[in-house]
Structure 1
Amino acid sequence: MKFEFPTLKTIIQIILISLILAVVAYFAFPLFALEQVPAQRLFTYGILAGALLGMLLISTRIYPASSTRVESIFVGNLAFKASPNALRKLFEEYGDVHAVRLMTDRATRRPRGFGFVEMKRKDAKNAIRALDGTEFYGRELKVNVANERKSDD
């Protein structure tokens, strides 16, 4: 698990949540309470509840879908002796690799000379820019975004 310091925006959100809950507790709770609770105590409870809620928001941070979306990269003109591990090491220089698939012929089970690498979208773009046209096992790689598979319909 990686620790991240909260951003200024997150800290401001926590403070706003705390203040809103404090004000709501200060004004609304006395209307519904059967017993009298001092207003300062209600305000303090609201601040504490807001701080706890804010910390919960930080610990369960939700990242935008665009930053976590996995992109499939087509890698062509691969040498037949290239292994999935070697290809993974090559692409790991540009980010986390989720999967590597080298395509083989169904009948002969021999390599077909191309494969796919899955990475986060941002890392994939950097890898494509850097690796397209580079030499790998004596062959010049063709690296680009993989096209969607066409349906049989």
Structure 2
Amino acid sequence: MNSPTIINIILSVVLAIAGYFLLPVIATNLEPNVAIAVGLLLGGILVPIISSQFSVAAVATKETDVDNSKTLYVGNLPYRANEQAVQQHFELQGQVHSVRLMKDRRTGKRKGYGFVEMTAAGAEKAIQNLNDSEFQERTLKVRMAKDKVED
């Protein structure tokens, strides 16, 4: 089950319970089982409306972030550096979407370079502030990544 489905189920249960307790107070002659049925009915009507509003906003935000992201090439990385350490270092400059550190296929050891995907504003700031700066006793080389050309 995905996260929105779980949220919808929880929201339906909360609305049903609210209907169970609140409707008999509002309409004193209403049976509790009718109150819970009305709560479930309201949940069935309101939950899709509420969840569609949230999902549209989330998709729009995600699309804007992806359209507004840039990929940086980061060279001269320490071999002991991991994705989390690099991400934390770059997050000081802006929002980081992903970090990919390259490894040798045969040995599995890090090659000393990688790519950081982040917001465009954060990428510009990272180039200014982190290029030729020291990270774990190595001088980083940070620039915009070139597009990959496939033959």
**TM-score normalized with structure 2 length:** 0.56
Pairing 1:125–2:120 present: no
RMSD over aligned CA atoms reads: 2.4
CA distance, structure 1, for counterparts of residue 133 and residue 143 of structure 2: 12
The answer (yes or no) to whether the contact 2:65–2:119 under 8 Å persists in 1 is no
1:99 partner letter? S
2:137 partner letter? G
How big is the shift at 1:96? 0.8
CA distance, structure 2, for counterparts of residue 67 and residue 76 of structure 1: 23
How big is the shift at 1:67? 9.2
CA distance, structure 2, for counterparts of residue 108 and residue 144 of structure 1: 27
Alignment partner, residue 139 of structure 2: 140
Query: How many percent identity over aligned positions?
Result: 39
- How many residues get paired? 95
CA distance, structure 2, for counterparts of residue 66 and residue 102 of structure 1: 22
- Cα-to-partner distance string for 1:53-110 (whole Å, 9 max, x where unaligned): xxxxxx96x78x6994210000000010011111000100111100000000111111
The answer (yes or no) to whether the contact 1:68–1:121 under 8 Å persists in 2 is no
Task: Name stretches of at least 5 consecutive residues in structure 2 with no aligned partner.
Answer: 1-55
1:1-153 correspondence runs (5 A)? 68-152=67-151
Runs of 4+ in 1 over 6 A off after TM superposition: none
1:74 partner letter? Y
Report the structure number with the largest CA radius of gyration. 1
**TM-score normalized with structure 1 length:** 0.56
CA distance, structure 2, for counterparts of residue 67 and residue 109 of structure 1: 30
Q: Which has the higher helix share?
A: 2
How big is the shift at 1:123? 1.1
CA distance, structure 2, for counterparts of residue 88 and residue 115 of structure 1: 11
- Cα-to-partner distance string for 1:33-62 (whole Å, 9 max, x where unaligned): xxxxxxxxxxxxxxxxxxxxxxxxxx96x7
CA distance, structure 2, for counterparts of residue 85 and residue 66 of structure 1: 21
1:141 partner letter? L
